[in-house]
Structure 1
């Protein structure tokens, strides 16, 4: 169930990114990569401001996300249970949402996910860096070693 929720959140964010791409997404990414957020409160304030201005895009993204999650979880159920699929999803989550610990929550490591949230609130650049290290680690570890993470 948790994996479906995380998959839904990831799809929603990807759809929102796609809908926003035409509106200076490179400027936003440059500011985010420049560690704009110093703590979790700044992030929540930015998300709230963005949703206030772009509520229509968020609604469209939600309407696209729900059927996609249902379709993926029903038609691709066998593929999602393969260990290689879990690794790919964990890598993508670590790259895009790893600073929030989403990849750790996806792998069932709730404590480490919470640690990433605390780390992001204290010093966000380190959370970004550690998430990228996790993505590289998942990409280069063996199948047996990755199975032990779950």
Structure 2
């Protein structure tokens, strides 16, 4: 269930980044990451203001991204629904999430380890380099697991 809910979120983020690519999103992301890589973040107000500023400046892009996300997800569920339940594809998705969103604990949420996912999320706000490193370690673990071990690792 969580796997099917995570797909639209990932597609939305990819589409939104694609829509804003030409406007220096990577520069803004680098600046934002440099701000939060301090030892301790005192509150989440900066994150809230950054997101609200983006939403107020780009409402059309967000609506377009939501529409594209809905179309892509409906197409994927309709045409590739059975393949998503395949063990090999499940492991590949876990590896992809651990590499690209492991610092947020997305791979742990995908595997059903909600507590560890929340720990990764909290750790990313306290000290980002450590959570990135731990996400990459999990990616390497998933790469060297076989499909049966990965399936046993996922909580239903």
1:43–1:92 distance in 2 versus 1, CA, 3 Å: farther
CA contact (8 A) 1:11 1:65 kept: yes
Of the three residues 43, 60, 69, the one matched with 1:56 is 60
Q: Determine the structure 1 residue equivalent to 2:30.
A: 30
**Cα deviation digits, residues 5-37 of structure 1 (max 9, x gap):** 1110000000011111111233234335x5432
- Normalization by structure 2: what TM-score? 0.84
| 2:98 paired with 1:94 | yes
CA contact (8 A) 2:12 2:65 kept: yes
**Cα deviation digits, residues 72-102 of structure 1 (max 9, x gap):** 1222111101111111211222223222211
C-alpha RMSD of matched pairs (Å): 1.9
Structure 2, gaps ≥5 residues long:
none
Distance 1:134 1:3 in 2: 18
- Number of matched residues? 149
- Normalization by structure 1: what TM-score? 0.87
Q: Any residues of structure 2 matched to 1:71-150 within 5 Å, and which?
A: 71-150=75-154
Distance 2:106 2:58 in 1: 24
1:45–1:149 distance in 2 versus 1, CA, 3 Å: farther
How far residue 48 of structure 1 moved from its aligned partner, in angstroms, is 2.2
CA contact (8 A) 1:8 1:66 kept: yes
Q: Determine the structure 2 residue equivalent to 1:20.
A: 20
